[in-house]
Amino acid sequence: MLESSFIFLKGIGETTEQRLWSEGLTHWRQFLETSTALSIGPARKALYDREVERALDDLRRAQWRKVAGRFKAAHHWRLFEAFRKRTVFLDIETNGYPAGEGEITMVGLYGHHTMTTLVRHQNLTLDRLQDELSNYDLIVTFFGSGFDLPYLRASYPRLDLSHAHFDLCFAARRLGMRGGLKHIEMELGLSRSDDVQGLNGWDAVNLWHAWQAGDERAGETLRQYNEADVRNLEPLAVYLYQALRDRHGPVCN
């Protein structure tokens, strides 16, 4: 989908992009190989050719942040397939207070087929978090735009979060799906273990406080809950990406 996208070009919206696709221009290379396009004039075509060539060059050189920087956040879902090896799935837990007042208690990260759990008072530090995130260029969350990322920025002002961001909550809304993560998981048949089935964010807050009071079992349950949140983001992202691509991408894709 990334190399079929022309929406990053100035003056091209979804309608013009669809017209280009209908002309058979469904890939950056096809666009460069044709001298004219019915949807745009020759002067703009020459200008767009240069921009597309730069984008292709950035992609060849694995300049992932530069590629992502060409797209508005609402279109970062288009990057998912091309960025798959540079993608991390992320979810945080907190002590229940708002960003700027509360504390992050746990950060779950799943990338490169590896689950990493960072816990307050143990291994959750700015340096460790930055080191983990530096391995990736696309962050996938569920409502991270409204919660996880603002909370991380408030808690760690020096943390580099310049990554592209695929927010599954808004992707689901765009497809007409409603409800929170657990509700959508149930719709799609994504399961959780019996130990954490039915738990929610407030349960996670209570589990943290119980753990700090000495209940080690609560700590293990909190870890399992966070891991389920994080791991289920991957199949959900795959489903939503494919659904968005089918609805908003070129027919050939």
What are the residue ranges spanned by the domains of the chain?
2-61, 84-242
Looking at residue 15, its pLDDT comes to 94
Q: Which two tokens stand for residue 216?
A: 């080690």
pLDDT of residue 253: 46
Q: What pLDDT does 193 receive?
A: 87
Q: How far apart are CA 202 and CA 187, in angstroms?
A: 22
Give pLDDT tens digits for 178-229: 999 999 999 999 988 888 998 999 999 999 999 999 999 999 999 999 999 9
Architecture of domain 84-242: 2-Layer Sandwich (3.30)
Single pTM value for the model = 0.94
Per-residue model confidence (pLDDT) at position 149 = 99
Kindly tell me the burial class for residue 224, based on how many C-beta atoms sit within 10 Å of its own C-beta (0-12, 13-18, 19 or more).
Answer: middle
Residues of the chain with pLDDT under 70: 252-253
Q: Which helix (H) or strand (E) holds 107?
A: strand 104-111
**Helix H segments across the chain?**
14-22, 28-33, 42-60, 64-68, 126-133, 148-155, 168-174, 181-188, 201-212, 216-231, 233-248
